[in-house]
Structure 1
Amino acid sequence: MNSYAKYIETVIEQEPENKLLEASILYQKSFGTVPEMTYYKTLERMSKQGSLVHLTKGLYYRPKKSRFGTIPISEKEIIGHYTNNGRGIVIGYRLYNQKGLTTQISKRVEVLSSAVTEQKKNIQNVCVTNSGIDLTQETIPVIETMEILQNYKSIEDIRKSALAAYMREFATEYSDTAAVFVLKNRKYKKSTIAFLERFLNYLGVENTLHQFLSALSSYAIPEMEEFYEPARA
């Protein structure tokens, strides 16, 4: 074994077990003086030996071992890699379930993250999509709400009363500045924006979402009576 390979092994063996290792980032951080071909060949050899596990293109981890054998990396550990420290959020059915909108849940986990370099990456049953923008206290509620409204019609067993309560709570903390920023930097259907605008207008919240809509267009979105009882005179 050459000195480069030995050095690579020594450094990688210091990484925590069952922690995702992004090969390209690890190379830039710790192995800039090592020939790239040597680096990747060493990762390949370590994977064959079992001291590393190759999950998918560019992703590895040091397996945790017990007296019963190897403990594979968990879904929670994969999700955590892309969501910890404000780097990402879970969307899709895990989000709908978490918000109490449905009791349904999916085996497939969808994550939006600023920590993924590609546009989309699949790791086991976790699908990570590049968020395209920084995820902050202000932008996260807007993104979550847009994801919910965009998929409203396809959410199985959705509880309309729960969505009504969720939107009322969202409206109390609504930031038009954050919403405009998200809508300028992430693509959502015009009908989804119109759906949000209808909720906000109904709940008496000032907004400037009309700037993203056409006054000449009619959007196929639900009426508020589906969610709220008409006010009695």
Structure 2
Amino acid sequence: MNISDIIRSKVARFAKGYVFTFIDFVDMVESKEGLIKALNRLAASGEIAKLAKGKYYKPEQSPFGELPPNQYQVVKDLLERDGRVEGYLTGLSIYNTLGLTTQVSNTIQIGKNEVRSSMKRGKYSISFVKQKNTITRENIPLLQLLDVLRFIKKIPDSKTDRSCKVIQSLMSKLSEKELEVLVRLALKYPPSTRALLGVILDSLGKVRLTEKLRKSLNPITIYKIPGVSGVFSSASEWCIK
């Protein structure tokens, strides 16, 4: 088989929307230059689609046209390296999934310990959010919830009071152990995030877990998060106005 046939054969086994690079084929062909040229020819012919320089994907068709790859596929090389987690989708990338907004953003936000400059891939803008906690597969869902609390006033097309109710519902499904880890992780977040977490834990009857959060806060600092006091009666106890 020639290089193009080799590529077609392997792409046929990929899931629709799967993003790949020439590295996926290097063990099958001898010439890297020939491989890259063949990939570009197949992209130009429409057999595969090009996402960005050196990145391609297996297109999926719908009644409304070609579907783009999902956000994880677009940035998976920024999330994991050699099987090790280095980042996670957060912010604008997860608000819709968590039921916080109906909007789907073209901005992909990634939480990482070491942030980098914003970048573009295809139609997507990619930005980074500093995460001070160690990132593991197990704690990513908890870090995502804390990020939502941190940026709760910036959720598009959603009022803070509604967002609080959604987050309260999500946290009510966590185990006691998960809530304990959530509190520990929150200690590396801004004070306003810790205060809002304390309010929600109070509302869930988890007063025992809030002691560390209270001790970490300055009792005379006021946190302005409109809408919270209308949902949670203990908001004023946490200096949230």
TM-score (norm 2): 0.59
Q: 1:9 to 1:183 in 2, by over 3 A?
A: farther
Q: CA deviation at 1:220?
A: 2.4
1:220 corresponds to: 223
1:60 corresponds to: 56
Q: 1:162 to 1:182 in 2, by over 3 A?
A: closer
CA distance in 1 between counterparts of 2:200 and 2:30 reads: 57
CA distance in 2 between counterparts of 1:179 and 1:40 reads: 48
Q: Deviations over 1:109-134 (max 9, x none)?
A: 646599xxx98664434758699733
Q: 1:16 to 1:164 in 2, by over 3 A?
A: closer
Aligned residue for 2:200, secondary structure, equals: helix
Q: Which moved more, 1:41-50 or 1:123-132?
A: 123-132
One-letter code aligned to 2:193: T
% same residue = 16
* Correspondences of 1:19-168 after superposition (within 5 Å): 19-23=17-21, 25-27=23-25, 30-31=27-28, 34-63=30-59, 72=66, 74-75=67-68, 77-79=69-71, 81=73, 91-92=90-91, 95-97=94-96, 99-102=98-101, 104-108=102-106, 110=108, 112=110, 122-125=121-124, 127=126, 133-136=135-138, 139-140=140-141, 142-155=142-155, 156-158=157-159, 160=161, 163-164=164-165, 166-167=167-168
Q: 1:205 to 1:50 in 2, by over 3 A?
A: same
Indicate whether 1:180 and 2:199 are aligned: no
One-letter code aligned to 1:78: N
CA distance in 1 between counterparts of 2:153 and 2:6 reads: 51
CA distance in 2 between counterparts of 1:9 and 1:98 reads: 34
CA RMSD, Structure 1 to Structure 2 (Å): 4.8
TM-score (norm 1): 0.60
One-letter code aligned to 1:108: N
Residues 101, 163 of structure 1: 8 Å contact kept: no
Residues 20, 59 of structure 1: 8 Å contact kept: no
- Selected match of 2:13 from 11, 15, 23: 15
Residues 49, 59 of structure 2: 8 Å contact kept: yes
Residues 120, 126 of structure 2: 8 Å contact kept: yes
Aligned residue for 1:225, secondary structure, equals: coil
Count of aligned positions: 212
Residues 90, 144 of structure 2: 8 Å contact kept: yes
Residues 106, 124 of structure 2: 8 Å contact kept: yes
Residues 21, 56 of structure 2: 8 Å contact kept: yes
Unaligned segments of structure 2, at least 5 residues? 77-84, 235-241
User: Which protein is richer in helix relative to its size?
Assistant: 1
2:196 corresponds to: 195
